């Protein structure tokens, strides 16, 4: 609880510094490199600095990550609630883009577009981006959404009043109202697991190692090696949220 109180104080201090917030959204730098983002914007006291890489070319859309996340984090079984989900993008030869995520991709995908009409098709795992400049943190009126000492964006369930402002503020659709707990829920990078030195459940079960978790400050980590090797991008970089989920081979069709 001490950790949470300390970070709530930090949240209020940060909020005061960002009053108005217009500068926050007005900087548009769509092609920032990962190195730049991390170097320029991270609080140097955050160490380790957890992040995730997603190698889209390796994702086979099996949905094991979605299923493992639901089990690990007791996410309600209904097909509306996901801490992580997978989307299938199908770009047709006529230019139409079809985006599907039946049951969050949990049971995999069936291709409904005839093969001869497909220009390309791929699957994209999504989750909370643990944004460095997180709109959800700014939107929460009671400080229930806060930044952990490791820079993770978490929700203190005992403080959440269920107002849903953070759900509306998240531009990635990464939050939902937990129908059982009546508080907001989302990915924590499996905080309880990584605190014990384990990988998040989605990373552990991925059969193709399409998800790479690690410490962005550790040059020997698989994540940093992945970022060094690949020209990755983040989702919606123009929003200046400084996401910590980095995608390799991110097509322009991905929203
Ligand atoms: Fe908040 Fe959404 Fe960013 Fe996650 S992805 S930190 S929920 S704004
Ligand atoms: Fe893609 Fe791995 Fe998830 Fe399967 S488990 S959908 S390969 S990220």
What is the predicted pLDDT for the residue at 44? 74
Going from the Cα of 102 to the center of ligand 2, the distance in angstroms, rounded, reads: 15
pLDDT above 70: residue 174: yes
What is the predicted pLDDT for the residue at 42? 65
Ligand 2 atom 5 nearest Cα: 206
- Ligand 2 atom, smallest distance to 63 CA: 6
Q: Between vectors from CA 238 to CA 235 and to CA 239, what angle results, nearest 5°? A: 80
Average pLDDT (204-232) is: 95
pLDDT above 90: residue 1: no
Ranking 21-30, 95-104, 246-255 by mean pLDDT, the lowest is 21-30
What is the predicted pLDDT for the residue at 45? 77
Ranking 6-20, 34-48, 90-104, 140-154 by mean pLDDT, the lowest is 6-20
pLDDT above 90: residue 113: yes
What is the predicted pLDDT for the residue at 47? 81
pLDDT above 70: residue 29: no
What is the predicted pLDDT for the residue at 255? 86
Average pLDDT (109-124) is: 97
Containing structural domain, residue 76 = 2-16+48-248
In a domain, 36, yes or no: no
pLDDT above 70: percentage of residues in the chain? 84
What is the predicted pLDDT for the residue at 41? 56
Q: Report the alpha-carbon distance of residue 69 to residue 83 in Å, rounded.
A: 7
What is the predicted pLDDT for the residue at 26? 28
Confidence category of residue 247, pLDDT binned at 50, 70, 90: very high
Task: Give the ligand at the shortest distance from the Cα of 174.
Answer: 1
List all residues whose CB is within 6 A of at least one atom of ligand 2. 59-65, 86, 123, 125, 205-206, 208, 210-211
Straight-line distance from the first to the last Cα atom of the chain, in angstroms, rounded to the nearest whole number: 37
Rounded to two decimals, the pTM is: 0.85
- Ligand 1 atom, smallest distance to 186 CA: 7
In a domain, 43, yes or no: no
Spatial contact of 219 and 27, defined as CB atoms under 8 Å apart: no
Residue 155 Cβ contacting ligand 1 at under 6 Å: no
Confidence category of residue 32, pLDDT binned at 50, 70, 90: very low
Ligand 1 atom 8 nearest Cα: 170
Going from the Cα of 208 to the center of ligand 2, the distance in angstroms, rounded, reads: 7
Task: Give the ligand at the shortest distance from the Cα of 204.
Answer: 2
Going from the Cα of 123 to the center of ligand 2, the distance in angstroms, rounded, reads: 9
Sequence-ordered alpha helix ranges (H) in the chain: 2-17, 22-26, 34-41, 64-72, 135-139, 165-169, 191-194, 201-205, 222-229
Going from the Cα of 61 to the center of ligand 2, the distance in angstroms, rounded, reads: 5
Is the backbone of residue 20 left (phi > 0), alpha (psi -120 to 50) or beta?
left
pLDDT above 90: residue 108: yes
pLDDT above 50: residue 152: yes
Ranking 44-48, 57-61, 189-193, 242-246 by mean pLDDT, the lowest is 44-48
In a domain, 219, yes or no: yes
Bridge partner residues of 214 (DSSP): 51
Domain count, the chain: 1
Q: Which of 55, 56, 59 to mutate to test the pocket of ligand 2 (most atoms within 8 A of CB)?
A: 59
Q: Is 233 helix (H, G, I), strand (E, B) or coil?
A: strand
Q: Which helix (H) or strand (E) holds 172?
A: none
Q: Is 47 helix (H, G, I), strand (E, B) or coil?
A: coil
Name which residue leads in pLDDT, 158 or 19: 158
Q: What is the mean pLDDT of the chain?
A: 87
Going from the Cα of 162 to the center of ligand 2, the distance in angstroms, rounded, reads: 31
Average pLDDT (107-136) is: 97
What is the predicted pLDDT for the residue at 123? 98
What CATH number did the domain enclosing 172 receive? 3.30.70.20
Going from the Cα of 248 to the center of ligand 2, the distance in angstroms, rounded, reads: 14
pLDDT above 80: residue 22: no
Q: Report the alpha-carbon distance of residue 242 to residue 235 in Å, rounded.
A: 9
Q: Which of 100, 125, 203, 207 to mutate to test the pocket of ligand 2 (most atoms within 8 A of CB)?
A: 125
- Ligand 1 atom, smallest distance to 173 CA: 2
């Amino acid at each position: 609880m001490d950790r949470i109180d300390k970070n709530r104080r930090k949240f209020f201090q940060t909020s005061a510094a960002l009053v108005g917030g217009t500068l926050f959204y007005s900087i548009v730098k769509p092609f920032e490199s990962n190195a730049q983002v991390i170097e320029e914007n991270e609080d140097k006291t955050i160490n380790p600095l957890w992040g995730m890489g997603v190698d889209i070319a390796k994702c086979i859309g099996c949905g094991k990550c979605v299923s493992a996340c639901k089990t690990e984090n007791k996410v309600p079984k209904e097909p509306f609630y996901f801490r992580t989900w997978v989307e299938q993008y199908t770009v047709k030869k006529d230019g139409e883009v079809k985006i599907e995520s039946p049951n969050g991709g949990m049971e995999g995908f069936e291709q409904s577009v005839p093969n001869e009409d497909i220009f390309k098709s791929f699957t994209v795992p999504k989750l909370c981006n643990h944004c460095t400049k997180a709109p959800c943190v700014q939107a929460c009126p009671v400080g229930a959404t806060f930044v952990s000492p490791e820079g993770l964006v978490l929700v203190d369930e005992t403080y959440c009043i269920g107002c849903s402002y953070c759900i509306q503020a998240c531009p990635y659709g990464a939050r939902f109202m937990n129908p059982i707990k009546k508080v907001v829920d989302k990915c924590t990078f499996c905080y309880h697991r990584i605190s014990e030195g384990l990988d998040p459940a989605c990373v552990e079960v991925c059969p193709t190692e399409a998800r790479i978790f690690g410490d962005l400050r550790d040059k020997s980590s698989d994540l940093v090696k992945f970022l060094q090797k690949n020209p990755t991008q983040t989702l919606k970089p123009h929003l200046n949220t400084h996401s910590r989920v980095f995608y390799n081979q991110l097509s322009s069709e991905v929203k």
